[in-house]
Amino acid sequence: MKSIYFVSVLISGLIIAMTASANHPANNLDEVMSEKEPFFQAMDEPNSPPFELVNSNGELIKLSDYDEKIVVLNFIFANCAGVCPLHSARIVEIQEMINATPMRDLVQFVSISTDPINDTGNALDEYGDAYGFDAINWTFLTKKPNDAENFTRILAEEYGVKFQPEEAGQQMHSVVTHIIDRKGRFAAKFHGLKFKSINLVSYVNGLSHQKNQPGKNIFMQWWDRALHFFNQ
């Protein structure tokens, strides 16, 4: 009798969970954003390329330090005479939009320099000040002292962005804004600068409302409980 009661409760829970999952906007977020934003690319990979870099104070920063946050990541360099200034201005705009909401405590902005020889110490701080980044949830990272000169450019390639050194300290590269979900899941990319900032903010908001573990939906959580019950 107890088993029958449990099963009936379990089935009811499954129905409620499935209904909630179907109606919650966060659960079909990639599909919705793909239809809305032509410069959006869903990744949905369980792990993002990890990194261990340093900030302007020489403090070691790892991607895993932000496991409980959503990370907005981009690659730039301070001396860039091309699109980096426009990219930085866009990230500042997005940061201002996010920081005006409760999402501020849930999101970390990370910029990584692909010119680590020149972008060190004060240069990192001065860049942030010049563009108006809010240091409360933004950091500019560079390579560790013993890393190779091209270390962060190799890291950028792992994220699918190539920075090719040219004359006068410039680099040829594309523009991509990477979205890393909690626990390091590689969620998505926004390509170029023509995407709408509100769409990226909406996407991050959707991720912030996903309370389930990556790759495991509400239905599967209930199903795991059922298997556990019958295997006791």
Sequence-ordered list of residues with C-beta below 8 angstroms from that of 134, at least 6 positions apart, any chain: 95, 96, 99
User: HSE (CB half, 13 Å, CA atoms) of 59?
Assistant: 8
User: Is beta strand 138-141 parallel, antiparallel or unpaired with respect to 107-113?
Assistant: parallel
**DSSP output for 157-183:** HHTT---EE-GGG-EE---EEEEE-GG
Q: What percent of the chain has pLDDT over 90?
A: 66
Domain spans of the chain, in order of start: 1-24+211-232, 36-208
Return the beta strands (E) in 77-163 as ranges.
107-113, 138-141
> What pLDDT score does 4 carry?
40
Task: Express each pLDDT in 64-104 by its tens digit.
Answer: 999 999 999 999 988 888 899 999 999 999 999 999 999 99
Count CB-CB contacts under 10 A for residue 189. Answer: 19
Task: Express each pLDDT in 189-217 by its tens digit.
Answer: 999 999 999 999 999 999 998 864 444 44
CATH 3.40.30.10 matches 36-208: yes
What's the pTM? 0.78
State the burial class of residue 124 (Cβ atoms within 10 Å of its Cβ: 0-12, 13-18, 19+): buried
Which band of pLDDT confidence, cut at 50, 70 and 90, is reported for residue 27?
low
Task: Express each pLDDT in 137-181 by its tens digit.
Answer: 999 999 999 999 999 999 999 999 988 887 777 887 889 999 999
